[in-house]
């Protein structure tokens, strides 16, 4: 046989399938059907179905074709002019249009949807994210900027930017950057060295180096700087709005020093910038900038968690399809008991992560557009760092396990599978590492206490009426009952155990929300959520105890 003749047997490649109707995406559909009024969901189902078909079909194929393309920086023109032009990949240029047309940001601010706006928005994002090479990153920051400018009381800036940030017209749609990270530190933003000074016309000008700016081609950015003469530390920082380019498209006193060479998210143009008197406008006052940008961080952390769950789902869909196609030891992998159990473990982790996330998204919608009470706001304050840190870690572990399920093919670049693992690794780093968010969890507990979260969890279990759940609910109540004991004693003694505490609270949240979903659907003859809840409880609920607890 010639070396150039085809092999007698070729492996059929895996396909992700329809992102909306895929059997593996049952949980998102089940959650929306329980939580969103049927008449409202019926209006949005066609859009979700269309996004699912595109994401698992044409967009996925475009993503594979675009695999080797990366953004390119051209610093100088042929005639020596500094131009700093960033050329985006073909898929990224298309993704901008799709994001506008499908209202990936605008839906979250549609007052006609009431408290369901966020659930319906993030359901769209869930479909969109896996095949668009992390275009969800600028959308997250755009969403956060829209939240800040909606609430800041700066009518001039809101009138200028919000019609673009919330536009569904691709030609009018703007995205936003978030320029916080500097050479001296990432999460330690109090050490920010960028200085703001007024020029002779009274216009604020920013000078400093921004070491890591994602989505460097965005039309606007929010950034921290220290007004000249302000004290050191985070209280002396102010939040500024700027438009990097003028109407002719030229950068305004900004140089792109380089594009970052990253492990993953390589389609996302992340740049190091030098601001040399860039014009900017204070968003709301000249101090307490960290507090002013906090609403943006809460939104971007939620997008981070949605991205984690969506990419876990994509990895599961590919691994499941491959298991049905790949023959080993005379049978498809899907018929081998150990392989089935491995995939079931991944599905259980994904279901719990998604349940914790969707409960938090639902609560975010209530706080923003519903009729929240103080307990809702307090619970959201605690849940936001928990779901970000927990889903990120589950995504890294889950996608790694899914990659292994392909054997050698999972390690081969042109299958597109390794990119999934490289990309999800950023989720535990961006917007706060696990340790940073664990400490934020302790700050949240100091500010609002554990009672709002405990009341919410016990309320979910109180609503479980199906006898088939009794033993599982009893076990979950016992685990919830241990939480106050974990928190007793010297608060400073908790800091070394903050990561363990946060992960335990996250997993309990996922379990309780999954049990509540199981109760709802058992009453309607569907026992799949129950089977997954049982599997998750058996898999994960030998909770790692806190020392002394």
pLDDT in tens, 437-490: 999 999 999 999 999 999 999 999 999 999 999 999 999 999 999 999 999 878
Token pair, residue 502, equals 């946060």
pLDDT digits (tens, 9 = 90+) for 487-505: 987 878 899 999 999 999 9
Q: What is the percent of the chain with per-residue pLDDT over 90, rounded to a whole number?
A: 89
Q: How many CA atoms lie within 13 A of 424 on its CB side?
A: 32
Mean pLDDT of the chain: 94
User: What sign does the CA torsion over 190, 194, 195, 200 have?
Assistant: negative
What residues contact residue 67 under an 8 Å CB cut-off, 6+ apart? Answer: 413, 414, 416, 419
CA angle at 502 for the pair 499 and 503, rounded to the nearest 5°:
85
DSSP H helices in 428-497: 434-448, 451-462, 470-481, 483-487
pLDDT digits (tens, 9 = 90+) for 387-441: 999 999 999 999 999 999 999 999 999 999 999 999 999 999 998 999 999 999 9
Quick one: which of 496, 390, 391, 389 has its CA closest to 437? 389
Token pair, residue 424, equals 């999800």
3-state secondary structure of 62: helix
Task: Give the whole-angstrom CA distance, residue 422 versus residue 212.
Answer: 18
Task: Give the whole-angstrom CA distance, residue 193 versus residue 99.
Answer: 34
pLDDT band at residue 353 under the 50/70/90 scheme: very high
3-state secondary structure of 185: strand
pLDDT digits (tens, 9 = 90+) for 167-197: 999 999 999 999 988 887 666 777 788 999 9
pLDDT digits (tens, 9 = 90+) for 71-112: 999 999 999 999 999 999 999 999 999 999 999 999 999 999
Quick one: which of 315, 385, 299 has its CA closest to 350? 315
Domain ranges of the chain: 176-287, 446-540
Phi/psi of residue 219, nearest 5 degrees: -75, -25
- For 443, other C-beta atoms within 10 Å of its C-beta total 13
Query: Would you say residue 245 has pLDDT above 60?
Result: yes
Question: Contact 138/176 with Cβ under 8 angstroms?
Answer: yes
Residues linked to residue 177 through DSSP beta bridges, in sequence order: 221
Question: Contact 199/183 with Cβ under 8 angstroms?
Answer: no
What is the predicted pLDDT for the residue at 96?
A: 98
What is the predicted pLDDT for the residue at 475?
A: 95
Task: Give the whole-angstrom CA distance, residue 409 versus residue 412.
Answer: 5
- Taking CA atoms, 426 is separated from 114, 134, 364, 420, 495, in Å, by 32, 11, 24, 11, 24
pLDDT digits (tens, 9 = 90+) for 281-325: 999 999 989 899 999 999 999 999 999 999 999 999 999 999 999
pLDDT digits (tens, 9 = 90+) for 358-378: 999 999 999 998 787 899 999
**Model pTM?**
0.96
Residues linked to residue 227 through DSSP beta bridges, in sequence order: 196
Return the minimum-mean-pLDDT range out of 4-13, 106-115, 147-156, 444-453. Answer: 4-13
Task: Give the whole-angstrom CA distance, residue 241 versus residue 284.
Answer: 10
> Could you tell me which CATH class the domain 176-287 is placed in?
mainly beta
Token pair, residue 345, equals 């473990």
Query: Would you say residue 544 has pLDDT above 90?
Result: no
Quick one: which of 278, 247, 273, 272 has its CA closest to 260? 272
Mean pLDDT for the stretch of residues 118-124: 98
Mean pLDDT for the stretch of residues 40-59: 98
- Taking CA atoms, 212 is separated from 179, 216, 261, 426, in Å, by 7, 9, 11, 13
Q: Report the relative pairing of strands 176-179 and 238-242 from DSSP bridges.
A: unpaired
CB-count burial class (<10 Å; 0-12, 13-18, 19+) for 247:
exposed
């Amino acid at each position: 046989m010639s070396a150039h003749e085809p092999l007698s047997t070729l492996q059929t490649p895996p396909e992700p399938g329809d992102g909306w109707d895929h059997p593996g995406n049952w949980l998102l559909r089940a959650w929306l059907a329980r939580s969103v009024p049927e008449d409202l969901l019926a209006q949005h189902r066609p859009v979700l179905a269309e996004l699912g078909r595109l994401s698992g079909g044409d967009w996925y194929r475009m993503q594979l074709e675009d695999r080797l393309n990366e953004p390119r920086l051209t610093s100088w023109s042929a005639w020596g002019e500094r131009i700093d032009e960033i050329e985006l990949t073909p898929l990224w240029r298309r993704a901008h249009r799709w994001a506008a047309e499908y209202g990936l940001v605008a839906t979250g601010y549609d007052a006609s949807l009431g408290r369901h706006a966020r659930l319906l928005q993030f359901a769209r994002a869930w479909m969109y994210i896996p095949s668009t090479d992390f275009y969800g990153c600028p959308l997250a920051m755009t969403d956060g900027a829209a939240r800040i400018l909606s609430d800041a009381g700066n009518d001039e800036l809101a009138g200028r930017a919000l019609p673009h940030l919330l536009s569904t017209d691709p030609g009018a749609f703007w995205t936003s950057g978030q320029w916080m990270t500097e050479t001296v530190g990432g999460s330690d933003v109090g050490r920010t060295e960028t200085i703001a000074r007024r020029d002779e016309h009274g216009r604020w000008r920013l000078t400093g180096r921004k070491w890591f700016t994602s989505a460097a081609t965005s039309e606007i950015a929010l950034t921290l700087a220290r007004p000249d003469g302000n004290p050191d530390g985070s209280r002396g920082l102010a939040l500024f709005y700027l438009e990097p380019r003028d109407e002719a498209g030229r950068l305004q006193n900004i140089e792109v020093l380089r594009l970052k060479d990253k492990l993953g998210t390589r389609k996302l143009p992340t740049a190091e910038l030098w601001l040399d008197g860039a014009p900017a406008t204070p968003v709301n006052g000249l101090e307490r900038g960290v507090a002013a940008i906090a609403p943006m961080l809460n939104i971007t952390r939620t997008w981070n968690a949605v991205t984690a769950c969506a990419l876990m789902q994509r990895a599961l869909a590919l691994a499941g399809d491959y298991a049905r196609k790949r023959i080993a030891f005379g049978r498809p992998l899907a018929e081998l008991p150990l392989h089935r159990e491995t995939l079931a473990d991944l599905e259980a982790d994904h279901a719990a992560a998604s349940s914790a996330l969707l409960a938090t998204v639902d609560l975010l919608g209530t706080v923003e557009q519903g009729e929240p009470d103080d307990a809702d706001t307090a619970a959201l304050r605690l849940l936001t760092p928990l779901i970000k840190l927990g889903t990120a870690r589950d995504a890294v572990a889950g996608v790694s396990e899914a990659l292994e399920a392909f054997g050698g093919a999972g390690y081969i670049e042109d299958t597109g599978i390794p990119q999934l693992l490289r990309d999800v690794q950023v989720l535990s780093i961006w917007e706060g590492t696990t340790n940073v968010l664990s400490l934020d969890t302790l700050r949240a507990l100091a500010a609002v206490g554990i009672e709002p979260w405990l009341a919410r969890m016990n309320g979910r279990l109180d609503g479980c009426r199906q006898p088939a759940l009794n033993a599982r609910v009893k076990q979950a109540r016992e685990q919830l009952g241990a939480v106050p004991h974990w928190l007793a004693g010297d608060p400073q003694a908790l800091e070394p155990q903050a990561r363990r505490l946060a992960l335990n609270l996250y997993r309990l949240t996922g379990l309780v929300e999954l049990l509540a979903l199981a109760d709802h659907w058992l009453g309607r003859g569907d026992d799949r959520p129950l089977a997954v809840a049982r599997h998750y409880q058996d898999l994960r609920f030998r909770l790692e105890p806190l020392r002394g607890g």
